Structure 1
Amino acid sequence: MINIVMDIKNNLINSIKRAINKAAFDGVISFDEVPEIEIEVPKEKNFGDFSTNVAMRMASILKKNPRQIAQAIAKYIDDERTEKVDVAGPGFINFYLKKDWVYDVIPAILREGEDYGRSNIGKGEKVQVEYVSANPTGPMHMGNARGGAIGDSIASILEASGYNVTREFYINDAGNQIEKFALSLEARYLQLFGQPAEIPENGYHGEDIVERAKEFKDIYGDRYLNTSPEERRKALCDYALKKNVEKLKADLEAYGIKYDVWFSEQSLYDSGKVDDVIKTLKANGSTYEKDGAIWFKASDYGAPKDEVLVRSNGIPTYLASDIAYHRDKFIDRGFERVITVLGADHHGHMARMHAAMKALGIDPERLQFIILQLVRLVRGKEVVRMSKRTGKAISLIDLIEEVGKDAARFFFTMRSADSQMDFDLDLAVQKSNENPVYYVQYAHARICSMESILKQEGIALRDPDKIDYSALKQEVEWELMRKLADYPEEVALAAQNLEPHRITRYLLDLAGLFHNFYNTCRVKGEEEELLQARFALALAVKVVIKNGLDLLKITAPERM
């Protein structure tokens, strides 16, 4: 698993350490300990290929001007890949590499293929990613759509980075919302037989409830008309929940998402795990009684206020089952880290759960939350709330049917989770370079077309290790190779920071550089060495675009 940029950074760090030691040996500088050396890529090209601020970090220790320290270190730098070293600004040391270092990138990519960009930085750490976890009481909305794309992409990126990942959907099939669900279904079922019945004010009024009640009537007729309300509600709820979960699974699979585990909230009650965690919190002094309810001392563990754990009627709150669920994750199933993707309305949930983990003796740093901001669907300049097809609120499956899985997933992963976004429905279906997913996919298809044309001409790529890449002399070629070299680092950073939008943005940049190369540099008809080098470069771009799109579960088409 090759990462040329990381290798260069490590070599530069070693060169800087040697330079500092030489400068100290000659008495130019003196120190007790060298701070951690970080190598960055300057934002502006005229500041070189790589840069370090180590001199500025040493300045506070040495009580000297950072620029003077940088100049002292720079004199002793000796690195075979470096053409020039200079000092800029307050004390940055900038490295200008010999341009031939990028020639190693193309054969490395073509050798590694689908493994290019993969790494083992995770070292097999057992990580669970929980996302979507929509209530099984109705269709999935746009928050679920965004969370699905982001959560699933995070899971793929972590897998590519050497983590042992489990994807999980938490089925909220217990508690108040299920009681309301059952009452709503019962009312619709009774209405079908002409009996007076009203849906509770805070119940579910959607057409999907009517549809489930009709289906139930078609199967069971009036069998449950004269049974006890408890028996009738349980039968209706069991039937509708099963059908709704099946629909959730089908819709999510159409979206490219397959879970390893579908975990039932009700199972935590059936197994006694909710009662067990309440007993544990009582035993360790993390609860108290007030107004007949049992309260969790969340404020003792850093949360802004205490929370009800068991209501005065003896029924546990959602918080109780959620604490039991997380203890099951960490203690019973042994996840080393848990990542949960939640909607914007769950912001207060983080402090409660971190407090609960502290109370259970679990390091709260092991529980990470990604809070999604709101999505607006727009068409033209108008906000869209209803589906043209159904006349109802737009669901995940409506979105997929209108713009396609690829566009939906690409658009939702284009921005960081903590930013609000407008999803342009018209743009998502355009077959033009204005449409970002089309722009990236078209780059891949263009290369496939080039490969097919050359094959028809009897032109095949030679052994990539035997091609002379020094024939690639134009700036557009060098920029493209340089971008290809960055890919493994981008995947690693996306994994470390849980930022799939890094991959989407990278692909857009890479596609732009390739389209520029394609329009500037001819392949067919060039002399043999240049043809082979450019052909290999294009195929390397094809590999990386496909690898990146695979991480996002987006198709890499061969023709468009």
Structure 2
Amino acid sequence: MNPDSLAAALLAVLTPIVERRRPEESFDLAAGDVAFERPKNRDHGDWATNIAMKLAKRLGANPRELGQEIADALAAVEGVASAEVAGPGFINIRLDAAAAGALAKTIVDAGDAYGRNETQVGNTINLEFVSANPTGPLHIGHTRWAALGDSIARVLKASGADLVSEYYVNDAGAQMDKFGASVLASAKGEPTPEGGYPGQYIADLAQAVLAERPDLLELDPEAQLATARELAYARQLREIQQSLETFNVHFDVFFSERTLHAKDGGASAIDEAIDRLAAQGHVFEDGGAVWVRTTTFGDDKDRVVRRSDSEIYTYFAADAAYYLSKSDRGYQHKIYLLGADHHGYVHRLKALAGAAGDDPQKDIEVLIGQLVSVNGARLSKRAGNIIEMDDLISWIGTDALRYSLARYPADSPLALDPEQLRKRTNDNPVFYVQYAHARTHNVARNAVDSGVDRSTFAPELLDHETESALLGALQEFPRIVAFAAELREPHRIARYLEELAGLYHRWYDNCRVTPKGDEPVEPVHGTRLWLNDATGQVLRNGLHLLGVSAPERM
């Protein structure tokens, strides 16, 4: 019996009680109105609910008396061992061993699907994250946003959302010309131009460009710059994409900013975006400049989309066109994951949503991630002034790095200890969880050698206190996934997995899957193998949501 079926059972006994106490009133109760919690003290049962306290005032009843009436009716439900009232009206519920233990087979049968839920069904989401300029390698900040963004995408998809993960490639504007000029200067053996990009990676790009176009320096100056810029850009973008794939981060879309500026003989997407905002009455001219009146929607000031001394649109104009593009592609909800230095974007993006005709409170979400530091990390030899993602992966490893970055809320500053993360001890959280998973496979291998299989399943035999605790945690997994998706907080998955690993290790120390010595194989051994494999499945499913591998041997 899982929380959903328990909620349905509670609702079934609650409805006649409500009708008897208040026949003149109409109560539209649903299973979603019934909330359960896991008691901190397992002596209090498997589940607790405050439904009696919640309904007492509406029914004109004493919470404890109402709770007792509900508990008496619930205790007669098949699969419920007992229901008792505690405190001001809490109802503590204990399931019988067979009802609780049946979950082990349910999980194994569900496999990779266990934990998936439908709480986000109907939501069409565009999740944008990382979106670093293609003018250099990804650094430590991008690494955190990559881990968090990809994990958020995974839990949202596991909860039924129709989601696309997107990388906005800032490949238009002055920074691209500076990038191209820096590569060209290196190719010519000249110093980095003022405001340009330094670092060994620029020299490496220059050599790659020369190898691809040996005639580069024979071209006219304008063609030299354009060729160096385009070839270096393409190569740098490929490096970024390779770094992300190595980090187990997949993007469905790489959206080029240039497509917003392209006219193709007519109006550009930016032109059309400004016209659409103007049609809604949000564009005005002042001092020869063109503005969007974003203060109407809570921005601290109106935003310029084209300055009086220029025919070139501002970055905000491109932001507007990009936002509208997301809506045009069918994504009602837009999530932006931005770095710590982008707090100023929150109000302007929400105001932009309002100007576009969306609801700023519902249709756009801006998550700000905080900085991360790594103890003892050295600056990149290639870039010179940053810590590169690739260097971190080589040093710490994808699994340890991803798990650690997803283990904390996005809005908390984070300092990582690489030496701790490289240890193969229980003090290292990622090792602790992965080792628990590997142990489930080791137990399964030993079971085969001992003649234990899953041909028998007697869930009533799973009555040890550590089995009750382990089954209770396994029941929680779908709810944890749904909660992580709702709050955009994948760290809840990591903390759950650590708790589950601890409960599994305690169960392993107390309950044998294989018989001792010459003892015969009994139904309890095969049944425990189901529980062992169910735990391994949940650990594996949870690690997948964090983009972390689940090794079978360690």
TM-based fold match above 0.5:
yes
* CA displacement 1:328-374 (0-9 Å, x = unmatched): 1112x111322222112222212211211211112331222222111
Which residue does the alignment assign to 1:268? 260
Partners of 1:35 and 1:54 within 8 A in 2: no
Relative to structure 1, the CA distance from residue 398 to residue 53 in structure 2 (aligned partners, 3 Å threshold; closer, same or farther) is same
Relative to structure 1, the CA distance from residue 248 to residue 94 in structure 2 (aligned partners, 3 Å threshold; closer, same or farther) is same
Partners of 2:338 and 2:366 within 8 A in 1: yes
Q: 2:112 aligns with which of 111, 114, 117?
A: 114
Q: 1:95 aligns with which of 93, 96, 100?
A: 93
Residue 316 of structure 1 pairs with residue 313 of structure 2: yes
Which deviates the most, 297-306 or 207-216? Answer: 207-216
Q: Given residue 279 of structure 2, which amino acid in structure 1 is its aligned partner?
A: A
Residue 215 of structure 1 pairs with residue 208 of structure 2: yes
Q: 2:407 aligns with which of 414, 422, 427?
A: 414
Which residue does the alignment assign to 1:367? 364
Pairwise CA RMSD: 2.6
Q: Given residue 376 of structure 1, which amino acid in structure 2 is its aligned partner?
A: S
Which deviates the most, 149-158 or 209-218? Answer: 209-218
**For residues 236 and 387 of structure 2, what CA distance do their matches in structure 1 show?**
17
Residue 551 of structure 1 pairs with residue 541 of structure 2: no
Relative to structure 1, the CA distance from residue 388 to residue 232 in structure 2 (aligned partners, 3 Å threshold; closer, same or farther) is closer
Relative to structure 1, the CA distance from residue 305 to residue 160 in structure 2 (aligned partners, 3 Å threshold; closer, same or farther) is same
Relative to structure 1, the CA distance from residue 395 to residue 321 in structure 2 (aligned partners, 3 Å threshold; closer, same or farther) is same
Which residue does the alignment assign to 1:516? 506
Which deviates the most, 40-49 or 314-323? Answer: 40-49
Q: Normalised by the size of structure 1, how large is the TM-score?
A: 0.89
Alpha-carbon distance, 1:79 to partner: 5.0
Q: Secondary structure at the match of 1:44?
A: coil
Q: Secondary structure at the match of 1:39?
A: coil
Which residue does the alignment assign to 1:151? 149
Partners of 1:19 and 1:74 within 8 A in 2: no
Which deviates the most, 216-225 or 155-164? Answer: 216-225
Which deviates the most, 233-242 or 120-129? Answer: 120-129
Alpha-carbon distance, 1:543 to partner: 1.3
Residue 440 of structure 1 pairs with residue 433 of structure 2: yes
Partners of 1:20 and 1:73 within 8 A in 2: no
Partners of 1:23 and 1:73 within 8 A in 2: no
Which residue does the alignment assign to 2:481? 491
Which residue does the alignment assign to 1:350? 346
Alpha-carbon distance, 1:74 to partner: 5.1
**For residues 47 and 5 of structure 2, what CA distance do their matches in structure 1 show?**
12
Q: Given residue 503 of structure 1, which amino acid in structure 2 is its aligned partner?
A: I
Q: Secondary structure at the match of 1:107?
A: helix
Alpha-carbon distance, 1:32 to partner: 5.6
- Equivalent residues in 2 for 1:265-304 (5 A)? 265-271=257-263, 272-304=268-300
Which deviates the most, 89-98 or 168-177? Answer: 89-98
Partners of 2:452 and 2:525 within 8 A in 1: no
Q: Secondary structure at the match of 1:138?
A: coil
Alpha-carbon distance, 1:5 to partner: 2.1
Relative to structure 1, the CA distance from residue 89 to residue 152 in structure 2 (aligned partners, 3 Å threshold; closer, same or farther) is same
Relative to structure 1, the CA distance from residue 142 to residue 12 in structure 2 (aligned partners, 3 Å threshold; closer, same or farther) is farther
Which residue does the alignment assign to 1:200? 194
Which residue does the alignment assign to 1:185? 183
Partners of 1:15 and 1:79 within 8 A in 2: no
Residue 472 of structure 1 pairs with residue 468 of structure 2: no
Q: Given residue 442 of structure 2, which amino acid in structure 1 is its aligned partner?
A: S
Which residue does the alignment assign to 1:247? 239
Partners of 2:294 and 2:348 within 8 A in 1: yes
Q: Given residue 243 of structure 1, which amino acid in structure 2 is its aligned partner?
A: R
Q: Given residue 211 of structure 1, which amino acid in structure 2 is its aligned partner?
A: D
Alpha-carbon distance, 1:83 to partner: 3.9
Which deviates the most, 321-330 or 334-343? Answer: 334-343
Which deviates the most, 520-529 or 434-443? Answer: 520-529
Q: Tell me the number of residue pairs that the alignment of Structure 1 and Structure 2 aligns.
A: 540
Relative to structure 1, the CA distance from residue 92 to residue 473 in structure 2 (aligned partners, 3 Å threshold; closer, same or farther) is closer
Unmatched 5+ residue regions in structure 2? Answer: none
Q: 2:220 aligns with which of 227, 237, 242?
A: 227
Which residue does the alignment assign to 1:536? 530
